[in-house]
Amino acid sequence: MNGSLDPVVSRYKVAFWKTQDSIRSLMVDSLAEAQKIAAHCEKMGFIVTIMELQQVEGGAYEWKLLEGGVSPFFEILTQLYRHRLLAGAGMVGIYLWGRSREP
């Protein structure tokens, strides 16, 4: 791990990423600042989400997803992930059905 661990936790967090193997985040004290960072990150080609700290308990952090970034898609992404085997089987079924209709 590069850098030092900073125990400071701010009220808002902006998470951003371009690849599937690494997520970066910044914590700030105001929503306006979080939105400004998120807008800049999106212009730079990052996928972003803005979160607000809800609870800290025993080293665990609970974050609420706020408007902006990918937050409107989290529900469908969560459902797709939960049902990924069924969705994959359905895609294979549709593909095979389409192939069976070819002359």
**47 vs 12: CA distance, rounded Å:** 17
Q: Express each pLDDT in 20-61 by its tens digit.
A: 889 999 999 999 999 999 999 999 999 899 999 999 888 888
The pTM score is 0.68
Nearest to 34, CA basis, from 18, 15, 20: 15
Residue 1 predicted with pLDDT over 50 = no
82: tokens are 């939960």
Residue 71 has a CB neighbour count (10 Å cut-off) of: 15
6: tokens are 């900073």
**102 vs 93: CA distance, rounded Å:** 15
